Amino acid sequence: GQQVMQIPQYQHVQEGEDFTTYCNSSTTLSNIQWYKQRPGGHPVFLIQLVKSGEVKKQKRLTFQFGEAKKNSSLHITATQTTDVGTYFCAGILPVSSNYKLTFGKGTLLTVNP
Amino acid sequence: DAGVIQSPRHEVTEMGQEVTLRCKPISGHDYLFWYRQTMMRGLELLIYFNNNVPIDDSGMPEDRFSAKMPNASFSTLKIQPSEPRDSAVYFCASSLIGNTIYFGEGSWLTVV
């Protein structure tokens, strides 16, 4: 079945360093979403990418969707302690009779102040 | 908006007992999802409903798990009998197709 792979599994950085997590799908995606889950919390939606090659920014966060719509990345510039948490990508298959979101296993980011 | 509401927030139960988790989705949302999260397996989709109808239950682990959605504002996930390996955080989530999935705060289940 369809899988969404995410790397790295863990990333520890010093505050102020950059951080990137990568998401790869075995099949072409209709669109991709990113979520953040704080420790002890629940996943919270960050953004959705739909178009091939799309790039979106939210302050220090930059999201990219690959040209083939099989991969995506989230880059955080100059990390802060508030960025701590697990970042998940979630892929949606092309339109079919079902609507199904498949989550990657996430990248846990810790930031050393 | 009150968001997705789940209950109970925490439950500790003995092996063999029945567990019922409840969810109230966001009003107007037509999709409801049940996810299970563990350290080992991450976020797993168990089942989802569209307009109260189960669409895909391929993620339900085994016959001990069942889910219902009797109306647009209520769903249950039941485990009977529960086992220690069912210990996890169970999230309910809702959405409008193609849009953001909103998660509840989760039900933290421990089976001893």
* B44 min Cα distance to partner chain A (Å): 8
CA B87 to chain centre: 13
Would you state the structure tokens that stand for residue B9, as one six-digit string? 């927030």
Average pLDDT of the residues in A87-106: 78
For A35-69, what is each residue's pLDDT tens digit? 999 999 999 999 999 999 999 999 999 999 999 99
* Interface membership of A110 toward B (CB under 8 Å): no
Record: contact B45-A41, CB cut-off 8 A:
no
pLDDT > 60? residue A96? no
* Mean pLDDT confidence for A66-90: 97
The reply to whether residue A98 touches residue B91, judged by beta carbons under 8 angstroms, is no
List CB contacts (< 8 A) between B51 and chain A.
none
> Given B55, B56, B103, which is nearest A43 (Cβ)?
B103
Read off the pLDDT of residues B2-49 as tens digits, 9 standing for 90 and up: 899 999 999 999 999 999 999 999 999 999 999 999 988 889 999 999
Using one digit for the tens of pLDDT, what is the confidence trace for B53-88? 999 898 898 899 999 999 999 999 999 999 999 999
Chain B residue numbers with beta carbons less than 8 Å from the beta carbon of A88 are 43
**Model pLDDT for residues A7-30, shown as the tens digit of each residue:** 999 999 999 999 999 999 988 998
The residue of chain A nearest to residue B35, with distances taken between CA atoms, is: A103
List CB contacts of A98: < 8 A, sequence separation 6 or more. B55, B56
Mutate to test the interface with A, among B34, B43, B94 (most CBs of A within 10 A): B43
Residues 6 or more apart whose CB falls under 8 angstroms from that of A63 comprise A34, A46, A47, A49, A54, A55, A56, A57, A72, A73, A74, A75
Rounded distance, CA B15 to CA B20, Å? Answer: 14
Residues of B with CB under 8 A from a CB of A: 31, 33, 35, 42-43, 45, 48, 50, 55-56, 91, 97-106
Q: Using alpha carbons only, what angle is made at residue A43 by residues B36 and A90, rounded to the nearest 5 degrees?
A: 80
